[in-house]
Amino acid sequence: MFYVIGLLIFLLLWYYFMPIYLEYRRHFVMTKNMAGPPTIPILGNALHFNCKNEEILGRVDQLCKKYGPSPFRFWLGPHLFIIISDPKHVEKVMTSSIFYRKFSKVYKFPAIVLGNALITGNGPHLKAERKAIIPMLNLNFLAKSLGPLDTHVNICIERLEKLVNKGTFNFIHECHPCYADYVKEVILGSDERSQKTGISPFDDAMIKGYEHMFARMFKFWQHFDFLYNLTPLKTQQDTLKHHIHTKGREMIKEAYERFNNPVPGRFHAIIDDMVEFLEENPGFFKHEDDFLCHILTLYAASEDTLTIVTSFLVMCLGMNPECQQKVLTEIIEVFGKTPRDTTTEDLQKLPYLTMCIKETLRLFTIAPLIARECSEDFQLDEYIIPQGCAVGVVMYTMHRDPQYWEKPNDFYPEHFLPDAVSNRPTYCYMPFSFGARSCIGKLLANTAIKVFMVKLLQLFEIEADGDVSTLKIKMDISIRPVHGCLVRLKKREWT
């Protein structure tokens, strides 16, 4: 009996680990002459990330500067990553259908909470689902969403009035509830108002979930479910998922109720568009939770992006009063000195503010790196990228490469003057990615940030200490400041 049990265990281990070993062996042979950090058995280079989460971004950047810009290899346990940060290589990867898939061996961890949706999903069904969702975020939707946006920003402005001349505070804490309310209304169709009632369990679970999902992606020893499930982290993950999915299902149920009993004058949210689409195309989603996962992903990507980019921009303008003054002058020319409702035509007349937003996204790229799966062997100049490995594109390093940026570590909006843009490779700047998997919400992000900044600068002067080059930042699903976006506000006095 003992021998039978031993044989069964051996066969199970053989069945589980042999494919991994064979793939590892092939990848090792094909990349043994490629540059990269020294490895150790089994773990590869995984111990490189045996550090605090806030240190991971810096370590990735150090690797790119030491071994790049040529492709170099990095082993996260048995999983091979080919890291690239040369725009010529990035263009070849991002424009090839061979790299359409996200690297599921690490993206499967955020998918536990967000599901196989727009960011984390793979498979042929995803293309059809993206094609169906993208038209819902069109210019007509953006124009209609300006009303709710003005409402929520005005509430935030009232909250900020109470902080004038009150010293330094973390702008993220004021900005996040505003955008959470806005995105919940226009994406999820929710009446929940965090600016008035405080952060909800849903909001809190989303915030904590970002770091939780990210940590598991980079900590190889957390990849094994049979070990991870024995730790308190599993309980935390289940709790976060429960709060997020429960609220998401409630909002889907409410959307179907609105479909059957329309409410006159109510804003028609993206979730309502999706319900109408599904009623016209029954069986469109392959799995029961696909609808839920797509709307949760749309919410997470929108709310977090808006909060972080706006907060960084506010701090950068506080650190650079001459840039703040240029933005203000432009705003006065279009809007005057008194806040009013915004139109899409107004927002097209703010080129310098647009440059400031782009510069903020350069310095603080929302997704500082992405990992795409190589679906077949791919020739990249003199290198061969083997099938089944990941290609990691490190936008953070490209965005601060002195070869392409005059002042790589400073806030310098002039990087985006037309002549400067034309003299740079297109693929050295990709804050919203490129190609078939690019972000579908970039127009929404630019619109909302401009509306917020116009109203803010008409009423307040922003002050912030220090400079961008010494700012400590960290990475989870997005880039964030280690110590918050610390600013002070003064009432703007018009003469």
For residue 182, the SS3 value is helix
Note whether 453 and 127 are within 8 A (CB): no
Tokens of 215: 């940590």
> Which residues, other chains included, contact 344 with Cβ-Cβ below 8 Å and sequence gap of 6+?
139, 142, 143, 146, 447
Tokens of 479: 């880039």
**DSSP state string for 115-148:** -SSTTT--SHHHHHHHHHHGGGGSHHHHHHHHHH
What φ, ψ does residue 476 adopt, rounded to 5°? -125, -120
What φ, ψ does residue 72 adopt, rounded to 5°? -135, 160
Based on C-alpha coordinates, what's the Rg of the chain?
24
Q: Which one, of 126, 130, 105, lies nearest residue 116 by Cα?
A: 126
**DSSP state string for 190-209:** ----HHHH---HHHHHHHHH
HSE-up (13 A, CA, CB side) for residue 77: 14
Tell me whether the omega of the peptide bond preceding residue 69 falls within 30 degrees of 0, making it cis. yes
Distance linking the first and last C-alpha atoms of the chain: 93
Q: Which one, of 191, 182, 117, 188, lies nearest residue 154 by Cα?
A: 182
Amino acid symbol at 19: P
439 is in an annotated binding site: yes
Q: Which residues pair with 83 in a beta bridge?
A: 72, 392
Reported in sequence order, the residue ranges of 40-122 that DSSP labels E, i.e. its strands, are 72-76, 79-84
Amino acid symbol at 457: L
> Which residues, other chains included, contact 481 with Cβ-Cβ below 8 Å and sequence gap of 6+?
172, 311, 312, 315, 471, 472, 473, 474
Q: What angle do CA 313, 200, 449 make, to 5 degrees?
A: 20
- Residue set of the binding site: 439
Q: Which residues are annotated as a binding site for heme?
A: 439
